[in-house]
Structure 1
Amino acid sequence: MFPGRRNVLLLAASQALMLSAIVLSMSLAAILGATLAPDKSLATLPVAMMVIGTAIASLPAAMLMRRRGRRTGFLMGAALGVAGSTLAAYGLWQGSFALFVLGHLMLGSYQGFANYYRFAAAEAVDASHTTRAIAWVVAGGVVAAFVGPQLAQWGRDWLVSGPFVGSYLAQAALSVAALGLLSQVRLKPAASVAAGTARSVRELLSQPLLLISILGAAVGYSVMIMVMTATPLAMLGCGLPGQSVTPVIQWHVVGMFAPSFFTGHLVKRFGAPRIMQTGFVLLLGHVTVALSGLAFLHFASALVLLGVGWNFAFVGGTALLTQTYRPAEQLKVQAINEFLVFGLVAASSLSAGWLYDRYGWSTLNLAVVPFLALALLASIGTEWKALRLRERT
C-alpha cells in the first residue's frame, strides 16, 4: 500500500456507501417514477433531477471546501444524502411525484459533494501514487453493485405504508454511516493545498489536454447514464420479469468499478489518453451488443460493456485532468470539470425517458454513437498533436 492509505481507504469506503445509495435509486427511480408521474415520458425525471443536483452542487461544493476544507464539504454532502433519501421515502409514501423528484435532487447534490473524494485521495498521497489513489476510491463502487440493488429489493416490503418506502429509509441509513466515516478523514487544510498563483479560467481552458479530459469524462458518463436510466424500462417493456432488472444493474455496476483495481496501473503504463480511447471503443461495443437482441443475456452483456467502457473513459479522464493544473488551481479546475461533466450528464439523463418513450430502445442506443465517435477522434487527434510537439522540442 502507499502513504496516506488511511485517508484513501476511508474515502473509498465513503464512496462505496454513497454509490450504494445512488445505485439503489438507479434501480428503482425510473420504475417508481412511471407509477407516480402524470406522464410516462417523465418516468426518468427523478434520475435526471438526481444528476442535475450533482451538477448544481459541484460549484458551491468546491467553494465551500476551499474556505472550510474538504471534510466540512464532505460532511455537508452526506447530510444532504440523509435528507434527500428521507424526503424521497416520504414522497413515495404520500404518492407525491413532486416530493419524490425533490428528494432525488437532494440525493444528487450529495453525489456532487462526494465526487471530490477522488481528488481528495489524489491530494492525500505523493505524486507517484496519484493515479492509484484515484482508482482505489473509484473501486469503492464495487460494493455498491451488490448493496444498492439488494437493499432496493430487501426494503420493498419492510413497511406496510407502501412498497419500497423501506428501501429509501435504508438508503438514508447508508448516508448516516458515511457521515461517521467522513468525520474520521484528516486532510490537508485548504489554504495549504491552494497556495501559489492561479491562471485565469480562459488560460486554463486553452489547454487541449484539459479540454479533452473534460470531453472524455463527460461523453463517457453521459452515454452510461442515458442507457442505464432507460434499461429497467426497456427490460420491462420487452416483457422480461421485474426481478431480472436487479442482476443486470448489479453486473453493470461491477463492470463500472471492478476494473479500477487495475485501471490505475494501465494508465501509468499506457497513458491516460489511450485508456480513454479504449473506453470509447468499449462503449461503441455496447451499442453493437444492445442492438443485437432483447433477451436477458443481451441486456446483461451490453450493460457490463457499458460499465467497463465508462470506467476506462472516466478514470482516464480524471487522471489526465490531474496533469493539467497547478496546486493553486486544483479546486478551480475540479469545479469546472464537475460542472461541465455533470451538466452534460444531466442533459442526457433528461432526454433518456423522452427518447425511449418516443422512439424506443434501438434509437436511444444509436443516438450515442456520434458523441462517442467525436470523443474518440478528438482524443486521438489531441494525443497525436502532443506527441508531434514533444518530438519538435
Structure 2
Amino acid sequence: MNLRENSASDVVTLAGPPSELSCDASSVDDGSDAAMRVGALYCACPASLTRANVTDNRLTLALGFGLAVLAQALVLTALPEQSRLMAPSVERIGWPFALLLVGAALASFPAALLVDAFGRRAAFSLGASLGVAGGALSAFAIAKSNFFGLCLGAFWLGLAQGFALFYRHIAAQGSARGGLVVLGGGAGAALAAPVVVSLAPEPGATLLAAAGLHVVALGLAVRMPHVVAPDSAAPAPAPISRRFALATLAGAVAWFVMSAGMLHGPLTLAVCAAAPAFIGGAMGWHLFSMYGPAALAASLPGLFSTAPTLAAGLAVMVAGAGAVYAGLSIASVTLGLIAIGLGWGAVNVAALRLLHEGARPSRAALALHDLCLLGAAAAGALLF
C-alpha cells in the first residue's frame, strides 16, 4: 500500500509488511521525523488509551455482564418448557438447552482471540449481536412451532453467553477482586428477571425481551475502546499449574451439576403447575444465588479461602441437586435450585481466585478453562 501527499516538498510513503505495524499514539501526533520515516506503518491510537484505563473500568464490564445474565435468566425461563412442548420426541427435549451450552463453549476461544486481535469493542459487539439474532430467531421459532429454529436460536444465544463470560477474565487482569466485582454484578441483574417476565409473560415476548437486552449490551460494547495499548510491565503468562488444574476440575463438576439442575428445575416446576411468573422468579433467585457469593467475596475476601470454599460449594450443590430431582413440591424444587446456585457461586469464586491470584495463565489457557467448564455443562444437559 502506498500513500503519497501531493506536496512539492514532502513525499510520505506508508508501506511495509504487517510485521512492521506499530501502535504508538504519541509518535503519530507529534509529527517527528522518526514517526514519519519512509517505509513505516503506524496506526493512530488515542494517546489516552492505556491498559489501566480499560481494565479498571469495572462498571462498564459489570453492566455488560449483568445484561447478559438478565438475558440468560429470561431465556432459561422460557426455553425448557418450550422445548418440552415443541420437541418431536422425548429424547430431544434437552437439545435447545444443550445447544445453548455448546454455543457458549465454542465461543470460548474466539472470544479470547478476538479480544487480543481486534479489541474489546469488536469482540463484545459480535457477542451481543449474536444474542440479538438468537433471541429474535427463538421467538420466531416459537411463533411458528419450529423446533429446529428454536435449537438454532438457542445456539446463537449460547455463543453470546460465551463471549459475555469473558468479561470476568478481562476485569480480573488487574486483580482477582475485579473479576469478583463483575461476577457480583450478575446478582443484581438476576433480581430484575421476575419483573421483566411479569411484563412479558408470553414465551415469545420473553425471548424478544432477551434480544432487547442484548441490543442494550451492543450499545454498551460499541462504546468500549477498539484496542488495548501494550503493557510492557505486564508479567509473562504462567504455564499450566496445579492451581489451574484444580480450578478447572472443580469448576467443571460445578457446571455439570448446575446445568442438569437448570434443565430439570423449570421443567419440574412446570409439571407441578407453577405459573410462568413463579418459574421466572425461581430462576431469578437461582441466578441471584449463583452470583451473590461473588458480590460478598469482593467485599469480604477473607471469608472465602479457596480449598474450604470449593469443598463446601460442591457439597451444597449435591444437596440441592437431590432436592430438584426428588421433585417433592414446588417449594423444595425452588430451594434446591437456590442451593445449587449458592454452591456454584462458591466454587466459581474459589476458581477465579485460583486462576488470577499469583501468576496468571495466558488468554489461551483461560479460554481452555472456559471450554472445559461449558463442555461439562453441555454434558450435564445431555446426560440428565
Q: Determine if the TM-score, normalized by the shorter chain, exceeds 0.5.
A: yes
Q: Which AA in structure 2 matches 1:117?
A: Y
Give the Cα–Cα distance (whole angstroms) in 2 for the partners of residues 108 and 278 of structure 1.
29
Conserved in 2, the CA contact under 8 Å of 1:273 and 1:320?
no
Q: State TM-score, norm by structure 2.
A: 0.79
State yes or no: 1:189 paired with 2:234: no
Higher percent of residues as helix: 1
Q: Which residue number in structure 2 is paired with residue 35 of structure 1?
A: 85
The structure-2 alpha-carbon separation of the partners of 1:3 and 1:264, relative to structure 1 and needing over 3 Å to count, comes to: farther
- Mapping of residues 209-288 of structure 1, within 5 Å: 209-268=243-302, 270-287=304-321
Q: Which one is further off, 284-293 or 43-52? A: 284-293
- Mapping of residues 1-393 of structure 1, within 5 Å: 7-123=57-173, 125=174, 130-156=175-201, 163-186=202-225, 189=228, 191-192=230-231, 204-205=239-240, 207-268=241-302, 270-287=304-321, 289-290=323-324, 294-323=328-357, 325-326=359-360, 329-352=361-384
The structure-2 alpha-carbon separation of the partners of 1:292 and 1:41, relative to structure 1 and needing over 3 Å to count, comes to: closer
Displacement of 1:280: 1.2
Q: Which AA in structure 2 matches 1:113?
A: F
Displacement of 1:198: 5.4
Q: Residue by residue, what CA displacement relative to the aligned partner does 1:224-275 show, whole Å, maximum 9, x if unpaired?
A: 1111111111123345455432332222122112222212355445532332
Q: State TM-score, norm by structure 1.
A: 0.77
Conserved in 2, the CA contact under 8 Å of 1:69 and 1:190?
no
Q: Which AA in structure 2 matches 1:144?
A: A
Equivalent residue of 2:192, what SS? helix
Give the Cα–Cα distance (whole angstroms) in 2 for the partners of residues 121 and 197 of structure 1.
18
The structure-2 alpha-carbon separation of the partners of 1:34 and 1:287, relative to structure 1 and needing over 3 Å to count, comes to: closer
Equivalent residue of 1:189, what SS? coil
Q: Residue by residue, what CA displacement relative to the aligned partner does 1:131-178 show, whole Å, maximum 9, x if unpaired?
A: 32111111121233233344334223xxxxxx4222222211101111
Equivalent residue of 1:28, what SS? helix
Displacement of 1:218: 1.3
Give the Cα–Cα distance (whole angstroms) in 1 for the partners of residues 327 and 144 of structure 2.
39
RMSD: 2.6
Unaligned runs of 5+ in 2: 1-51
Higher Cα radius of gyration: 2
Displacement of 1:104: 0.7
Q: Which one is further off, 140-149 or 33-42? A: 140-149
Q: Which one is further off, 186-195 or 136-145? A: 186-195
Give the Cα–Cα distance (whole angstroms) in 2 for the partners of residues 340 and 318 of structure 1.
14
Conserved in 2, the CA contact under 8 Å of 1:7 and 1:187?
no
Displacement of 1:61: 1.6
Matched length: 333
Unaligned runs of 5+ in 1: 157-162, 353-393
Equivalent residue of 1:259, what SS? helix
